[in-house]
Structure 1
Amino acid sequence: MDFSLWTCAARGHETYAPTEPELAARLHVATPAGESWRCLRCGDFVPGEPRRTGPADDAPEVPRGRLLRDRVIMRLLAAERVIRGIVFILLGAGALKLRSAQGDWKQNWDKDLPLIRQLADQLGWNPDHSKIIHTIDKAFTLSPNVLTWIAVGLFAYAAIELIEAVGLWLVKRWGEYFAVIATSIFLPLEIYELTEKVTVLRVGALLVNLVAVIWLLWSKRLFGINGGAAKYHEEHHSESLMTVERSAVAAQSEQQTERITRRAR
């Protein structure tokens, strides 16, 4: 998949007309249909007026190629973190709701449980062996203080997930570090849960988090891995089309200077 063209199709081309004549000449072409300017994202020439204009130093840093692909992956991870955060917020709200009306919920549960058993018998399912049923029964025996602390823990975990989501969505360096540290802290707990019982959901969650941590560490060069921060910033700067064209202009000027010097000799 060409993420550059895909993004341009969704957002439109990012054309820019620099005020420097030599640089503008490399990003501009005249056609029978009129002038065209090169998109800083996909590199195609787009007919019409440029979207922006100004000095080359003020040109927007437009991610392209692998950097754009990485941004898409990070935002998918951010969306997954948002879903997790919402789930834990709902669980925390449920714990507080149970705390405030524990007796009423217990009475309603005792009334509905016989109906659940009748339906379970028809489906060939034994509720007495259900972990969900046992968890609900145990929840009614918890004290209000315990339910409060459970809600606090669930809200805290949701906050961590949402902070991760913001950092990853905005493609911030601190977000990458935060995501790796926060995710790694909970990996031992997820592995311990698998020792109790292996389920598709638990295995899937563990694999997603493991792959996310390894991918962030390597591709984002965190903690000095794979070249570290210096290589990270160099890569981001060199991937910019404007930077590439400015380097080409500089190289062309050097070649012309060398030719003039040789002729003078």
Structure 2
Amino acid sequence: MTAASRPKHGAHDRMLRAIALFKFFKTALLVTVGLGARELLRPEVAEQAQEWVAALSLRSERVAAQDLLGRLDDVAPSRLAALAAASFVYATVFAVEGVGLWRARRWAEYITVVTTLSFVPLEAHHLLRYPSAPGVSALALNLAVVLYLIARLKRRGVSK
């Protein structure tokens, strides 16, 4: 392939790649959550976690970790299994979006707009109940991605 025939990557392609990297990050995070939820279904993992908490040297760290483990004890195994399954499903969706966006595929832009918008009501509801700066940042970032992709799709629709 000669330099003249190589595709040129402009600012728009860099933005798509940045969004794709964000999707890949979400994929990795969800796979980690899914694997963690599956591991918590194993009784020996819970026992090992209790031993690690007991070995913590600082009392404040130990109390916080014991509180977290106590909350996890109250989670039914069926809920952990559902969390793992949902995490893997969403990780797959985000991975497909990421690959499509990385390759500048129009279908990936549409899928990303639809899936991202589908989470906005849930994020907004959660923010109303539990306001936080990271929550506001995540919602703003997701809305910025959607607005960028919609504008890009409109521009491409006019030019093609």
**Equivalent-residue separation in structure 2 for 1:90 and 1:71 (angstroms):** 28
Letter aligned with residue 72 of structure 2 = A
* Gaps in structure 2 of 5+ consecutive residues: none
Change in 2 beyond 3 A, CA 1:204/1:165 = same
Paired residues, number: 160
- Structure 1 residues not aligned, in runs of 5+: 1-12, 16-59, 234-265
The residue type equivalent to 2:82 in the other structure is W
What's the secondary structure of 1:80's corresponding residue? helix
Question: Residues of 1 paired with 2:66 and 2:51: CA distance?
Answer: 14
C-alpha displacement at 1:137, in angstroms?
Answer: 2.4
Higher relative contact order (CA 8 A, sep 6+): 2
Within 2, Cα distance between the matches of 1:126 and 1:93? 24
Q: CA deviation at 1:61?
A: 7.5
Q: CA deviation at 1:193?
A: 2.0
Q: Find out whether 1:109 has 2:49 as its counterpart.
A: yes
Equivalent residue letter for 1:180: V
Matched, 1:73 2:15: yes
Q: Once the 2 structures are TM-superposed, how far is the Cα of residue 70 of structure 1 from its aligned partner?
A: 0.6
Q: Which has the larger radius of gyration?
A: 1
Percent of residue pairs identical: 23
Q: Quick one: structure 1 residues 185 and 135, their matched pair in 2 at CA, closer, same or farther if it must change by over 3 Å? A: farther
Q: Which has the higher strand share?
A: 1
Name the one with the larger helix percent.
Answer: 2
Quote the residue 1:90 is aligned against: 32
RMSD (Å), alpha carbons? 2.7
Deviation at 1:168, TM superposition (A): 0.7
Aligned to 1:202: 135
TM-score by length of 1: 0.53
Q: Of 82, 88, 91, which aligns to 1:155?
A: 88
Give the direction of change, closer, same or farther, for the CA distance of 1:135–1:110 in structure 2 (3 Å limit): closer
